[in-house]
Structures are given as C-alpha cells and as structure tokens.
Amino acid sequence: MPYIGHFDLSVFFSVLQKSFKKLTVDASDIQIINDQATVCFKAEAICYNDTIVKFSGQEIFTFDTTTALILSVKVYHDTKAIAD
C-alpha cells in the first residue's frame, strides 16, 4: 500500500532516515509521464551495528497535476539485502 498524502510521506521519510546511522542515495534515470515520475536509485547505508548495506530499486511518485504536490510514492527494491 502506498504512503498517501503529505503527513504519511513525511512519516515514511522520517522513519527511513532513522533506520540507519547513515544513508546515501543516488538517483538516476528520472522519467516523467503524465502524473507520474519514476526514479531509479542506488543506496548505501551504514547500520547502527556498523554493517554496510547496499541496495537498489525504483520509486514511482504520483502527483496532483493541478497543485504539483506528491500524492503517493511506491518503492520497489529487494528487501533481502536490508533484512540480512
């Protein structure tokens, strides 16, 4: 289920930042079609036990075309890299 609306998205990004000691994300291959933007990403995180985790994936943002505000974000990535 996507995070929908300003409050839910801010909760999502806040929890993501707090999940790691350090998180670096590089975005690439940004494509915008109608009310959606697709972004590929590669991330490297340092966990609180100093383990380094690398993962990649894709985010799909849906916008309100009238206000240009983000309505929802869907993130697709291999959860095994983070779970290990």
CATH number for the domain that contains residue 66? 3.10.450.50
What is the rounded distance in angstroms from the CA atom of residue 84 to the CA atom of residue 64?
Answer: 37
pLDDT tens-digit series, residues 16-69? 778 889 999 899 999 999 999 999 999 999 999 999 999 999 999 999 999 988
Domain of residue 79 covers 3-83
Strand, helix or coil for residue 16: helix
Question: Which pTM does this prediction carry?
Answer: 0.70
Structure tokens at 15: 């929890």
Nearest Cα residue to 38 out of 23, 57, 54: 57
**Count of alpha carbons within 13 angstroms of residue 72, beta-carbon side:** 7
Number of domains in the chain: 1
